[in-house]
């Protein structure tokens, strides 16, 4: 059987501290494991591929989407989600969002990491039958529970007492991540330690940069901004803490949640609609609140009520088990074969021409 040739197009790892980069690394590694039916290359200049899978919408990749290939775009975000992330002049911002729409619409197929993206994409003009939901996943060999000794050694490294309840925030420091609410919660809980892993991945164009930088430069005594941590070290950071707290006002499909639940730590989130399906709100797998008052109430209950804490530990385990490597691996295996069979007869694939010559 002829192997399907896939060219992965991405600059997702060029900016540190992005969940998109983590998702890209995991997805490519997963597809490569299906080497009995797929041949995978990354950012190849060759042209004899069946599928171009665009992970990031860089201009050089958008230009390569054409009739000679099956074109797939990965949708990690919608144009409107940049509103709380980047700050730039309105005409430039308008043009940028228009370009993102153009990049998505140029593809034959779209893969969304969250089913809540499907309706907005249909409104943008993409055909519903060409949109597929495939969730992110995290390799349990990379993210898992660590022994208490290792956890305490990491706390020593960051100057955190072993007996303190540690509340972790994670992600790029920007307005939509709810950093100001996170710091306000820390101020109201001086007996606990708050650790934020992440920084300004996009520098001064980050929305709220001046105000957030002032907070980072002079944080409350119980808050530690530890900067952008290499992904290979993040398992230790999740294990070092007692709770992952993400008060984001808007999210996509945060990889940090999938990574944190593998360490069996409870998760506290703002009660956003987008989490309800992907994190199984009906099974009460994660703690939630709408504002600072609610967050503080939840933090204190998780820190003092052992049964309540254990309940959400089990919730994290449920999430971790669902987003297993094998399950998502099979989804990708089926997906690429399905779209190949769907589009190959309609496309001028170079591999098709070669096949005809050898007949």
| Residues 6 or more apart whose Cβ sits within 8 Å of residue 193 | 160, 161, 164, 165, 166, 167, 222, 224
Domain ranges of the chain: 4-137+324-352, 148-322
Q: What is the largest CA-CA distance in the chain?
A: 75
Residue 220 has pLDDT above 90, yes or no: yes
Predicted local distance difference test score (pLDDT) of residue 171: 85
**Would the pTM count as exceeding 0.85?**
no
Degrees to nearest 5, angle at CA 139 with 120 and 332 = 50
For the chain, give the mean pLDDT. 88
Predicted local distance difference test score (pLDDT) of residue 116: 87
**What is the percentage of the chain residues whose pLDDT exceeds 90?**
59
What is the Cα–Cα distance from 29 to 256, expressed in whole angstroms? 18
Q: What's the chain's Rg over C-alpha atoms?
A: 22
Predicted local distance difference test score (pLDDT) of residue 274: 83
Predicted local distance difference test score (pLDDT) of residue 235: 96
CATH of domain 148-322: 3.40.50.2000
Predicted local distance difference test score (pLDDT) of residue 335: 98
Domains 4-137+324-352 and 148-322 share a fold: yes
Band the pLDDT of 226: cuts 50, 70, 90.
very high
Q: What is the pLDDT of residues 293-326, one digit of tens each?
A: 999 999 999 999 999 999 999 999 999 988 888 8
Residue 14 has pLDDT above 50, yes or no: no
Q: What is the pLDDT of residues 241-264, one digit of tens each?
A: 999 999 999 877 778 898 999 999
CATH class, range 4-137+324-352: alpha beta
């Amino acid at each position: 059987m002829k192997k399907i040739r896939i060219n992965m197009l991405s600059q997702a790892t060029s900016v540190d501290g992005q969940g998109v980069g983590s998702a890209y690394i995991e997805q490519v590694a997963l597809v490569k494991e299906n080497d009995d039916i797929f041949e995978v290359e990354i950012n190849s200049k060759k042209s004899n591929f069946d599928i171009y899978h665009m992970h990031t919408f860089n201009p050089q990749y958008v230009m390569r989407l054409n009739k000679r290939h099956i074109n797939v775009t990965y949708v990690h975000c919608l144009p409107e989600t940049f509103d709380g992330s980047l700050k730039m002049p309105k005409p430039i911002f308008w043009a940028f969002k228009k370009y993102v729409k153009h990049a998505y619409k140029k593809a034959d197929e779209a893969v969304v990491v969250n089913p809540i993206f499907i309706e907005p994409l249909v409104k943008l003009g993409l055909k519903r039958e060409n949109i597929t939901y495939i969730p992110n996943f995290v390799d349990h060999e990379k993210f898992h529970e660590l022994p208490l000794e290792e956890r305490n050694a990491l706390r020593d490294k960051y100057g955190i007492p072993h007996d303190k309840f540690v509340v972790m925030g994670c992600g790029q420091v920007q307005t939509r991540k709810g950093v100001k609410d996170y710091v306000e919660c820390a101020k109201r809980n001086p007996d606990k330690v708050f650790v934020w892993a992440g920084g300004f991945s996009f520098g001064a164009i980050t929305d709220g940069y001046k105000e957030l930088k002032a907070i980072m430069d002079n944080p409350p005594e119980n808050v530690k901004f530890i900067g952008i941590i290499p992904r290979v070290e993040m398992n230790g950071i999740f294990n070092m803490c007692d709770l992952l707290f993400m008060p984001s006002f808007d999210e996509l499909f945060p990889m940090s949640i999938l990574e944190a639940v593998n360490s069996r730590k409870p998760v506290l989130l703002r009660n956003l609609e987008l989490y309800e399906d992907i994190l199984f709100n009906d099974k009460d797998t994660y703690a939630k609140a709408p504002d600072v008052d609610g967050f503080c109430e939840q933090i204190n209950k998780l820190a003092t009520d052992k049964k309540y804490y254990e309940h959400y530990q089990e919730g994290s385990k449920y999430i971790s088990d669902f987003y297993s490597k094998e399950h998502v691996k099979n989804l990708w295996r089926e997906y690429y074969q399905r779209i190949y069979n769907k589009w190959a007869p309609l496309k001028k694939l170079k591999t098709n021409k070669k096949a005809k010559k050898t007949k």
